[in-house]
Amino acid sequence: MIQVKKELLAALGAALAEVAPGAAPAAAFELPKQAAHGDYACTAAMQLAKALKKNPREAAAALVEALNRQPAVQQWVDSLEIAGPGFINLRLKPAAKQAVVREVLQAGATFGRQPARADKVLVEFVSANPTGPLHVGHARQAALGDGICNLFDTQGWQVTREFYYNDAGVQIATLAASVQARVQGLAPGDAAWPESAYNGSYIADIAADFLACRTVRADDRTFTASGDVADIDGIRQFAVAYLRHEQDLDLQAFGVRFDNYYLESSLYTSGRVEDTVARLVASGKTFEDGGALWLRTTDYGDDKNRVMRKSDGTFTYFLPDVAYHLAKFERGFTKAINLQGGDHHGTIARVRAGIQAAGLGVPTGYPDYVLNKMVTVMRGGAEVKISKRAGSYVTLRDLIDWTSRDAVRFFLLSRKADTEFTFDVDMALKQNDENPVFYVQYAHARICSVIRQFAERGIDPVSVAGAHLERLTASSEAALMRRIADYPDMLASASESLSPHDVTFYLRDLAGAFHSYYGAERFLVDDAELGRARLALLLATRQVIANALTVLGVSAPEHMARDSASSSTPSDSDTATLPTP
């Protein structure tokens, strides 16, 4: 069906050129909101009406006449009808819909993926300062960032995952002071305990390992503790390395990797911050007031001008942010995407203004931002706010330990990033249709169960190569094939809109179409040709479910158990256990 769509788009383009030479819009199809309206819809007639000096329905009639002369339309289209003010609805022949099954089986894991391209995209996400364990907000960013990276990978982009953090700011100084206090034998609640210190039990763990002169290794640094209570710089470096190592463990458990780590301190040591100041001053967009250096960010849409360098000579956070993003562009990333918490909304306009003021030809709107709201965690019907390990918040590791990596990833990707989200631990543990990740994974496992039953009857999946797909005529089969055919366009749209939640919606729809098919038809039938055709459709469905789950970083298990007592869907004989987290 993918090839069919390409041929029909070419036919539409030819018909448009025939009807309105030199004035034709680009050939495009839309998916009707209701399946009863057809398989594709075309709105070009309403755009052509003015150029043709006809009303839209008359323009549609002329376009339909031209379309009917196209060989691809004659081969694949069952009917063309004009509806409403000038819509053209196309109904495909069964063979056109059935073609997608063979396309999936031929493409396998590459179905839906586009060819490699030269474009480079940098996705910066998580970017947590090493001052404590990763919390649920970081978990949502990790899921979103990795999902967006995977989406761009399916579209052929060269993707780089980057983790940016500060290793020498005020928070890091507080971390060092907290660990030093623990090294000195103090604890939260003691009279001499620093008021601003971090109180989590992880601080005591760092102090103990520092005194033991241990060596810690993170993905981007290694450090050996001196054990000297007075060595505050050594304590700082050890604590940063220790917590970076802990973050690495959390991210590994979550199945997230990074290609590069970028230190805020390097912007100063490399001279990039001073270079950025010089560029902005040379642009004529700065001014001095009250002993401070300001940038006229209002010239670029900001609500007020911003201080770059304070009167005491120190820089505001805004300036290194600008320097960092200029570095991204200079490194060849024509597209950059930042995953950040919703509290960063106010920084977008000023950072983009600084980038534009630098005059390096960076596109307007660079970088793109995806802002996520925090996550509320519910367990046992009550909100969970405290982690024993972190002391004041629920960590990523807590969520994984309580449920599973698959559940955390799928749940955190199941809503738009800028919407409030409640992570229900009890729901994530359910083994029935109420749990969306279970519902999807169970569809995959159920298909695997049926395929095994085919194999037990001596019907090898390889035998479907020549299956008579024209036997797939049931309404539930048509609905399932339509969902499969939607997959490549869904990926392209989700990538363009930075919306990995679209993949979760698609998977639930696809799983629903399969479960309906499972309940409506038999697969192990006496009619051998019909059985092979249905096996081919099952194999294609399994492949697309697995492909989409891979985009989310979620596994596609072949064996699962379910609580059939609380489910409305028929159960099958496959009652193996769930995969371990």
For the chain, the domains span: 2-92, 375-429, 436-566
Distance of CA 228 to the CA centre of its chain: 45
Q: Which residue has the higher pLDDT, 200 or 423?
A: 423
Instruction: Decide if pLDDT at 571 tops 80.
Output: no
Same CATH topology for 2-92 and 436-566: the answer is no
Report CA torsion sign: 246, 248, 249, 250. Answer: positive
> Using one digit for the tens of pLDDT, what is the confidence trace for 356-368?
999 999 999 999 9
458: left (phi over 0), alpha (psi -120 to 50) or beta: left
Out of 181-195, 449-463, 476-490, which region has the weakest mean confidence (pLDDT)?
A: 449-463
CB 102 within 8 A of CB 95: no
Tell me, what DSSP letter sits at residue 463?
G
Residue 564 confidence class, pLDDT cut points 50, 70, 90: low
Q: How many angstroms separate the CA atoms of 574 and 581, rounded?
A: 20
pLDDT digits (tens, 9 = 90+) for 209-261: 999 999 999 999 999 999 999 999 999 999 999 999 999 999 999 999 999 99
> Average pLDDT of the chain?
92
Confidence of residue 566 (pLDDT cuts 50, 70, 90): very low
Per-residue pLDDT for 570 more than 60? no
Query: SS3 for 135?
Result: strand
DSSP 284: T
Q: What is the pLDDT of residue 569?
A: 46
List all residues 6 or more positions away from 135 whose beta carbon is below 8 Å from its beta carbon.
Answer: 390, 393, 394, 395, 396
Note the pLDDT of residue 124: 98
Q: Cβ neighbours of residue 338 under 8 Å, at least 6 residues apart?
A: 124, 125, 367, 368, 369, 370
Residue 455, pLDDT score: 93
Q: Looking at residues 428-447, what average pLDDT do you find?
A: 97
Calculate what percentage of the chain has a pLDDT beyond 90: 84
pLDDT average, residue stretch 577-581: 34
The pLDDT of residue 473: 95
Query: pLDDT-derived band of residue 461, with 50, 70 and 90 as boundaries?
Result: confident
Give me the mean pLDDT over the 311-331 stretch: 94
**What burial class does residue 395 get, using C-beta atoms within 10 Å of its C-beta: 0-12 exposed, 13-18 middle, 19+ buried?**
buried
Q: How far apart are CA 115 and CA 153, in angstroms?
A: 10
pLDDT at 568 over 70: no
pLDDT at residue 581 greater than cutoff 60: no
Least confident of 193-207, 329-343, 381-395: 381-395
DSSP 534-572: HHHHHHHHHHHHHHHHHHHT----S-----GGG-SSPP-
CA nearest to 137, candidates 510, 395, 505: 395
Q: What is the pLDDT of residues 484-503, one digit of tens each?
A: 999 999 999 999 999 999 99
Q: How far apart are CA 533 and CA 545, in angstroms?
A: 19
Whether residue 387 is predicted with pLDDT greater than 70 in this model: the reply is no
* Per-residue pLDDT at 436 exceeds 80: yes
What pLDDT digit, counting tens, does each position of 276-289 carry? 999 999 999 999 99
| pLDDT value for 396 | 94
Q: What is the mean pLDDT of residues 517-540?
A: 96
Mean predicted confidence (pLDDT) in 188-206: 94
- Assign domain 2-92 to its CATH superfamily: Arginyl tRNA synthetase N-terminal domain (3.30.1360.70)
Is residue 548 a contact partner of residue 510, using CB atoms and an 8 Å limit?
A: yes
pLDDT digits (tens, 9 = 90+) for 70-85: 999 999 999 999 998 8
pLDDT bracket for residue 563 (50, 70, 90)? low
Q: What is the CATH number of domain 436-566?
A: 1.10.730.10
What pLDDT digit, counting tens, does each position of 35-73 carry?
Answer: 778 889 999 988 888 888 889 999 999 999 999 999 999
Q: Which amino acid is at 40?
A: Y
pLDDT digits (tens, 9 = 90+) for 12-29: 999 999 988 988 888 899
Peptide bond connecting 367 to the previous residue in cis, omega within 30 degrees of 0:
yes
